[in-house]
């Protein structure tokens, strides 16, 4: 006999084990979704910072580029804006999964508690708090990026106004329209 059982397992002990397994896998699921969400937020913040850098470089070069150069620069900017939108969609996508994982872990912690698997319940709650803290931390990065992007917007409006004024004085070419599009 590979192993012998001293007495048949009680319903309570089987339920406790099953509750522990359920909290374990719920915690694993929460970890996966947290990692994915944190990655998505980080990628979003990176994309925003790249956009900010591109826009600053464009503003710095206003009036110094040939129309063809200017055109290719704002093609890159438009491409980067699309990338920022994509990264934002990723964030929304993983955020909904993450929320459902948080709810699942709450339910697992509750189930473990009612089953008498206090240790598993406490572990699940700790994992929930940890995930919350990690995601909050990542969100700070993206909020910071959003703030910097808004600042660049202000700077952009000022620079474009200055540039438009200098163009009026010199009667030169107009600000490329496509750059001003908000898509």
Residues of this chain that bind a second copy (CB under 8 A): 11-12, 14-15, 18-19, 21-22, 24-26, 28-29, 31-33, 35-36, 39-40, 94, 96-97, 100-101, 103-104, 106-108, 110-111, 113-115
| Segments of the chain assigned E as strands | none
Give 73 or 101: the residue with its C-beta nearer to a second copy.
101
Which alpha helices (H) appear in 61-117, and where do they start and end? 67-114
Least distance (Å) from a second copy to the CB of residue 48? 20
Report how far residue 16's alpha carbon sits from residue 13's, in angstroms, rounded to the nearest whole number: 5
Burial (CB count within 10 angstroms: exposed 0-12, middle 13-18, buried 19+), residue 169: exposed
Least distance (Å) from a second copy to the CB of residue 37? 9
Give 84 or 101: the residue with its C-beta nearer to a second copy.
101
Give 40 or 52: the residue with its C-beta nearer to a second copy.
40
Give 114 or 166: the residue with its C-beta nearer to a second copy.
114
Closest CA to 26 of 96, 99, 108: 108
- Measured CA angle at 14 (ends 11, 16), to 5 deg: 105
Give 12 or 71: the residue with its C-beta nearer to a second copy.
12
């Amino acid at each position: 006999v590979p192993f012998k059982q001293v007495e048949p397992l009680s319903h309570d002990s089987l339920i406790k084990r099953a509750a522990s397994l359920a909290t374990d896998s719920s915690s694993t699921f929460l970890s996966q979704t947290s990692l994915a969400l944190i990655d998505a937020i980080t990628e979003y913040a990176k994309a925003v910072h790249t956009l900010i850098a591109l826009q600053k470089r464009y503003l710095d070069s206003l009036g110094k580029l040939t129309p063809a150069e200017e055109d290719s620069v704002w093609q890159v900017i438009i491409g980067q804006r699309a990338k920022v939108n994509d990264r934002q969609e990723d964030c929304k996508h993983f955020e909904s999964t993450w929320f459902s994982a948080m709810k699942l872990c709450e339910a697992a912690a509750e189930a473990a508690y009612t089953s008498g698997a206090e240790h598993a319940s406490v572990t699940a709650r700790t994992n929930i708090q940890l995930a919350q803290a990690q995601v909050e931390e990542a969100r700070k990065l993206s909020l910071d990026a959003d703030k910097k992007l808004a600042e660049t917007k202000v700077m952009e409006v000022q620079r474009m106004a200055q540039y438009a004024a200098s163009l009026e004085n010199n009667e030169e070419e107009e600000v490329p329209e496509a750059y001003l599009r908000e898509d």
